[in-house]
Structure 1
Amino acid sequence: MRVPRCWRPLLAVALLAIILPAPIYAMASSADEPTSLRNETDDSAASDQRAINRELELFRGSAVSLSQAMAIAEALHAGATTADVSFDGAPEAPVYRVKTLHKDRIWHHAIDAATGKPVGGEAALPLKEFDANDRSNLVALKTVRHGLADAVRVAEHAAAGKAISGGLIRERGRLNFAIVVMSGNDLKAVVLEPPGAARRR
């Protein structure tokens, strides 16, 4: 697949460490610190890492891709566009959490990562319920020629992997898409500025 020339190559692909940052105590351990406290912190970091590894393993084994989950959620409301999507391995059955924008409302959907079926019903919030920054981003999303689904395809190609999450961010007054891609054992963040993104006034 060719990367469309219309995307500004902010393909600032940044590696994100899967391993959590070393806790402060590991860098400068105090002799006064009780051993039990250090052990509890070690156990907590190890537990967090196990949870991350489990989530990534569930994502690798999911039958439904992030792009497919977005398309399924968007089809629930004709004309909807995805504003945010992420894989969630915490529930009993892993799901994609998809937020779509449709008729000045944000719809929350859970799409089963194994079957592609919507689960747990849906909920909607009017745009006026969001703070000014989020509202501004969502309004700007309506003005772009290419949506998050396009950004996911570009990011997956650029980072040679599968997208695990994506959403909106603002940089220098412009709407950008931030996509996290799993490439091998690494997570890579790809930031893309879509053509036609409106500058915040």
Structure 2
Amino acid sequence: MRTPKSWSPSLAIALLLAVLLPAPVLAVAASTDAPASQRNDTGDSALSDQQAINREIQLFRGSAISLSQAMAIAEALHAGSTTADVSFDGASHAPVYRVKTLHNDRVWQHAIDATTGRIVGGPAALPVKELDADDRSNLAALRAVRQRLSDAVRVAEHAASGKAISGGLVRERGRLNFAIVVISGSELKEVILEPPGAAGRK
């Protein structure tokens, strides 16, 4: 697979994990030894979860604005900002992208309408110093690497042959990674990308 020149081929895709949608309710009910009343509750819960997932995916697929466009809209609000976390939210009154951007010493939270690209509501900002130690460490590492979350989204969409629905930072064994969830066909796939130079950053 070809990756952009800014990504080291040996580090670009650390893991591509396909996460299948929840199993059919009948399979869940048939595999448990719980009493019938509990099996029904479990089945109802699984059905409800599956319906919520299906609804979210349907809304996402019908959105005129992509995740990458939502990030660009949010970043344009503060020159020099970079996205630290983004996700599609179909549970609100109107589907939106929730975007957190880092600018100077603040994390800004924006809601971008998934249909029009307009800003929904006012921005909220939180000083970085008020975050917990892990979040501060991740944001410091994000500042230090050349790659941006938008770069990771492009690589992940190509690798998983789909469209990204969320992305953010994760730290595993001391390494900062970008974790991107992509909808590919009927599956949700998580692509983990390690930016060059992120290893060992605390």
What is the TM-score normalised by the length of structure 2?
A: 0.91
Count of residues in correspondence between the two structures: 198
| Contact 1:11 1:158 (8 Å CA) reproduced | no
Distance 1:90 1:148 in 2: 24
Q: What does residue 124 of structure 2 align with?
A: 123
**SS class of match (1:164):** strand
Aligned equivalent of 1:67: 68
| Distance of 1:20 and 1:106 partners within structure 2 | 37
Over 3 Å counting, the alpha-carbon distance change for 1:11 and 1:198 in structure 2 is closer
How far off is 1:37 after superposition?
3.0
Measured in 1, the distance between the counterparts of 2:108 and 2:12 equals 30
Partner of 1:182: 183
Displacement of 1:92 in angstroms is 1.5
- CA 1:200–1:47 in 2, change beyond 3 Å: closer, same or farther? same
Distance 1:67 1:159 in 2: 16
1:39 aligns with 2:67: no
Report the counterpart of residue 18 of structure 1 in structure 2: 21
1:28 equivalent to 2:32? Answer yes
- CA distances 1:19-78 after superposition (whole Å, capped 9, x unpaired): 159898753314xx3x33322221111011101100000001110000000000000111
Letter in 2 for 1:10: I
Q: Which moved more, 1:17-26 or 1:175-184?
A: 17-26
Unaligned runs of 5+ in 2: none
* SS of match in other structure, 2:147: coil
**What is the distance in 1 between the residues matched to 2:130 and 2:115?**
32
What is the identity percentage for the equivalent residue pairs of Structure 1 and Structure 2? 68
Runs of 5+ consecutive residues of structure 1 not aligned to the other structure: none
Do 2:113 and 2:120's aligned partners in 1 also have CA atoms closer than 8 Å? yes
TM superposition score normalised by structure 1? 0.91
Does the CA contact (< 8 Å) of 2:28 and 2:43 recur in 1? no
Residue 59 to residue 24, structure 1, CA distance change in 2 (3 Å):
closer
